[in-house]
Amino acid sequence: GENVEQHPSTLSVQEGDSAVIKCTYSDSASNYFPWYKQELGKRPQLIIDIRSNVGEKKDQRIAVTLNKTAKHFSLHITETQPEDSAVYFCAQEGGFKTIFGAGTRLFVKA
């Protein structure tokens, strides 16, 4: 069945450094890969997504890369700021069903 592995589970970086979160998936039919950010006590919100017909997408300090052959995709946050501290979830969607990774708790130390 569908499965998404996400690493690391916890990531601590110094303000201004980069953060990278990686995910692998099993369903080769998936063609949509979103990333959600969930701040403490809040609902998850989409921050960036990528579809299978592109390999990379960037939005200001956030970028996502996708390798369909290897079935993995990554989130890159550059110049991290304290407000980037949150839990980040990768996800895959196949046939309208969205499955999430276990999440990465990112701490950005000022």
Partner 1 sequence: GAGVSQSPSNKVTEKGKDVELRCDPISGHTALYWYRQRLGQGLEFLIYFQGNSAPDKSGLPSDRFSAERTGESVSTLTIQRTQQEDSAVYLCASSLAIGELFFGEGSRLTVL
8 contacts 21 by C-beta, under 8 angstroms:
yes
55 Rama sector, left if φ>0, alpha if ψ -120 to 50, beta otherwise: alpha
Q: How many residues does the chain have?
A: 110
Cβ at position 103, least distance to partner 1 in Å: 5
| Phi, psi values for residue 80, rounded to 5° | -60, 150
Q: What does the binding site for partner 1 look like in residue numbers (CB under 8 A)?
A: 1, 31-32, 34, 36, 43-46, 49, 89, 93, 95-103
Nearer to partner 1, 1 or 70 (CB): 1
Nearer to partner 1, 49 or 71 (CB): 49
Nearer to partner 1, 10 or 14 (CB): 10
